[in-house]
Amino acid sequence: MTKRSKIFTFNFMGGIIAPGPLLQLLNIATDCRATKIRLGLRQQLIIEIPEDHSARFVKTCTQQDIQLSATPNLVSSYFADGLVSQSSWLSEGIYKDIFSLFDYTPTLKINICDSQQTFVPLFTGHINWIISPGKHFWHLYLRLPGTSRLYAWPELVYTTHIPLLSKAVETHMQNGCSLEEIYLLIRQNYTYISQPREEELNLPAFHLPYYEGFNKANDAYWLGIYRRDEIFPIAFLKEICTICLETHIGQLYATPWKSIIIKNINPVHRSLWDYILGKHGINVRHAANELNWQVEDNCEDGLILKRHIIRYFDKADTRTYGLCFSVRIKKPESLFGSIVVRRQGNRQSSDLKYLQRYDILHTSNFDANNTQLVLFREGVTKEQLGPYIVALCRQFYELRSNQDILSDYLAAQQLATVATPALQAAFQCRDCFTVYDPEVGDSTQGIAPGTEFSELPEDYCCAVCGASLSNIIPVP
């Protein structure tokens, strides 16, 4: 008989996890017979505690001032700074300044992101803050819970007013206001620094960096750890915390892809990390085509479907670079993916696995940040998912190849060559090093500016030492 358990969630704002508090939490979980944790899509920790120990777990957490979470975590691209992106002005210090200004616990999903990175989804929140080129000014995009429509705030908002407006937007969303009404109400009743939103948000094409294993960054390493089953053994995490504390690494990071990032690993300490990965049998080199998936939290059906499709990818040797996938069993609107597998609603006989059906969709133009979904196939069986999704991947690359990038590049190079006049060579006397410049000519001998060296008369000689024309040679 399977023992019953309870699920507890812990939010670490912006995905930043201090190893000391994490170790404290893991020790409590171990004492309450937990052996594993999961990471959530919103950079949070999820711990499963046996039901007969759950009351003691809650009590101990409360006594040690560890807060259990019943609200969505605030997501950020903080960990990507200096790792896979480097914006013009957004820094780790600015992120932390913003986090410190939140004097309330958000009840809706909030994203705070650099516009130039493609690691953290930008629009999966209800309140989405994205930097603009102007220093300390942010774009704001709103999405009502349970919907996919995005509303662009007509103004750019100053950094220090992000928490103020977030709180006000939450209040009006919960009161049932429309997105347009929310803007008018806040504009009338709140004072904040803003400037006109004169240009549309300019985003780079989606590309998910390979986020596993050891990677060099300046004079240090960063380590990415992904788990195929989304399960991280607590014993492994406790030893990670110990290494971080001993080597003065002050932060770990949870990503929206349910992975862990450790930055600023000193090369002299790399052997410690290799040891701990080997001790616990942690693989850190999975294929890229299984790192670009988002599956609902604690959803075994979604993971089974993901594994099924990836096996077909391997069999068909399918390229998935530039794409990301989501599996929606409960159909959450905020799940990120340019190709979406969505289980159809429950039928009377849906408990019979062979009768379950799925829809395959993709975002408009396969833009991962687009929320508009296009139906590709409807009501397909599990066995049909692999072939259809491979066909859809090919369609994505055919769409991209419609623009002949190579020919466009060659044409641009040729145009640049024509537009840029060739530099005329200068010529120098081998005896006295006097230079003849065709652009200047030689007024002392009646040679007009623009006279090429090949056009000089045979009796031309060096203007200084009188050396013959044959003694004057080209120089770079």
Q: Which residues 6+ apart lie within 8 Å of 136 measured at CB?
A: 89, 94, 158, 159
Fold of 426-475: Rubrerythrin, domain 2 (2.20.28)
Query: Would you state the pLDDT for residue 73?
Result: 97
Domain ranges of the chain: 85-196, 292-401, 426-475
Q: What is the mean pLDDT of residues 37-44?
A: 96
Alpha-carbon distance of 44 to 254, in angstroms, equals: 7
In terms of Cα–Cα distance, which of 212, 211, 232, 216 is closest to 265? 216
Q: Which residues 6+ apart lie within 8 Å of 287 measured at CB?
A: 310, 314
pTM here? 0.83
Question: Are 399 and 365 spatial neighbours (Cβ–Cβ below 8 Å)?
Answer: yes
pLDDT band at 351 (very low <50, low <70, confident <90, very high): low
Q: What is the mean pLDDT of residues 220-229?
A: 96
* pLDDT higher than threshold 70 for residue 375: yes
CB burial readout 223-246, b (16+ within 10 A) else e: bbbbbeebebebebbbbbbebbee
378-387 tens-digit pLDDT: 999 999 999 9
Helix, strand, coil abundance in the chain, percent, nearest 5: 35, 25, 40
pLDDT band at 102 (very low <50, low <70, confident <90, very high): very high
Distance from chain centroid for Cα 159? 21
DSSP states along 201-248: ---PPP------EEEEETTEEEEEE--TTSEEEHHHHHHHHHHHHHTT
Query: Would you state the pLDDT for residue 460?
Result: 87
433-453 tens-digit pLDDT: 788 888 888 888 888 888 888
Alpha-carbon distance of 366 to 337, in angstroms, equals: 9
* pLDDT higher than threshold 70 for residue 355: yes
Q: What is the mean pLDDT of residues 323-331?
A: 92
51-72 tens-digit pLDDT: 999 999 999 999 999 999 999 9
pLDDT band at 88 (very low <50, low <70, confident <90, very high): confident
Domain 292-401 matches domain 426-475 at the CATH topology level: no
Q: What is the mean pLDDT of residues 119-129?
A: 96
Query: Would you state the pLDDT for residue 365?
Result: 92
- Indicate the helix (H) or strand (E) that contains 47: strand 44-50
Q: Write the DSSP symbol of residue 168.
A: H
Query: Would you state the pLDDT for residue 1?
Result: 46
Q: pLDDT averaged over the chain?
A: 91
Query: Would you state the pLDDT for residue 348?
Result: 42
pLDDT band at 120 (very low <50, low <70, confident <90, very high): very high
Question: Are 461 and 468 spatial neighbours (Cβ–Cβ below 8 Å)?
Answer: yes
* pLDDT higher than threshold 80 for residue 87: no
Query: Would you state the pLDDT for residue 334?
Result: 74
Q: Mapping DSSP to helix (H, G, I), strand (E, B) and coil, where does residue 103 land?
A: coil
* pLDDT higher than threshold 60 for residue 347: no
Architecture per CATH, 292-401: 2-Layer Sandwich (3.30)
